[in-house]
Amino acid sequence: MSIKVEEPPAEPPLGKQSLEFKNKFFKEASIQDWNNWKWQIHNSITDYKRLEEIFGIKESGHNLPLRITPYYASVVYNSKKLGKTVFPSMNELVHSKGESLDPLHEEHDSPVKCLVHRYPDRVLFLVTNFCSTNCRYCTRSRIINNKEEEKNQLNEWNLAIDYIEQHKEIRDVIISGGDPLTLPDSLLSYLLTSLSEIKHLDMIRIGTKVPIVLPMRINSDLIDILKTVKPLYMSIHCTHSDELTEEVKTACNLLADNGIVMGSQTVLLKEINDEPETMKSLFHGLLKIRIRPYYIYQCDPLLGSAHFKTSVETGINIIENLRGHTSGYAIPHYVIDAPGGGGKIPLLPKYYQGQDEEGNILLRNYEYKNYQYFNN
């Protein structure tokens, strides 16, 4: 009788643009290296010399922080629009009216270190200051890559977990940072296990951009940790349909197949994704890989972010061109996270036109036709 010998699992496939980019700029790396998320972080583009070698962008003396994974660099290399989201710019040194380092006043609503308790029944748990790729419009750029802040990480976590345990009105925890999925498996497992043991929590969410900028992180070891938490939701930061590569599709389908419910968060950015057709293409692509479009955010008034900012009318126009023109599942909420800690406020086109003299509701639909609803 022959004995069947199991073959080692095949390496995840590399998309064409990843393979071409790797062979051009990371010749020494094997496919196994490239598919290792820790290798990706260790070999990220963090200096201007390497940025110039690959993208021709010269250091201009402003020395702003920089980090792009090799994988995401391969995406950006083929997408001029996405380059604007990760390449440092002198525009970041221009400070405009209404901007601040902490525009959402998160520190004001922080009862213990690394926890933001703004809404009655949910908290934001900032578990790390590290991201594998730095977005230039990041609301939390004040804390990203701040090593000083991470020294007492586990002690701060435990204080935050104690606070959540003591406040039984909290039913929902959003784990964010930085990016939680850059944590080592052991720490992530400890965190999720600790939260899962709190009986009054109904749900746990993870806010992340890792499936988009570091899809090789979504591996079997990580899935084994994530699928023990039920229900687990994941809010994925997506910007443009150019990000939806074969690697990203594979990663997100793996998450969905293992019971993780995914929604998207998209920041509205000038000359990057501020056209209705651009957003529609992104949202249709996300639905195909089982990510429900959830939020479009108006860009937060972070210091030096004015060059990313669109008018609010631009965002309303996008919703206007989605509602009635595509599936309801493809239409996210368009919100402003109110400066000063006011929370998320939804913005809509003027479908509600008021009431007539008899108190009946006057409505306008997506075709600009008017209707009356009898309001008994």
Q: How confident is the model over 29-53, as pLDDT tens digits?
A: 999 999 999 999 999 999 999 999 9
| pLDDT for 302 beyond 60 | yes
Distance CA 277, CA 318 (A): 8
Determine contact, residues 130/179, Cβ cutoff 8 Å. Answer: yes
For 234, the token pair is 């994941």
pLDDT of 363: 95
Distance CA 304, CA 126 (A): 23
For 355, the token pair is 């009431």
Torsion of CA 102, 105, 108, 111, to 10 degrees: -100
| pLDDT for 8 beyond 50 | no
For 348, the token pair is 């809509």
pLDDT of 13: 67
- If you average pLDDT over each of 89-93, 121-125, 339-343, which comes out highest? 121-125
For 30, the token pair is 């094997």
Task: Average the pLDDT over 206-214 and give the result.
Answer: 98
Residue 145: left (phi > 0), alpha (psi -120 to 50), or beta? left
pLDDT of 143: 80
Domains of the chain: 16-92 (no CATH), 115-346 (3.20.20.70)
Q: Which residue has the higher pLDDT, 162 or 106?
A: 162
What is the pTM for the complete model shown?
0.92
pLDDT band at 141 (very low <50, low <70, confident <90, very high): confident
Residues identified as active-site: 118-119, 122, 131, 135, 138, 140, 300, 337, 344
| From 104-108, 112-116, 234-238, 265-269, the region with the lowest mean pLDDT | 104-108
Q: What is the mean pLDDT of the chain?
A: 92
Distance CA 344, CA 360 (A): 30
**Rg of the chain taking only CA atoms, in angstroms:** 22
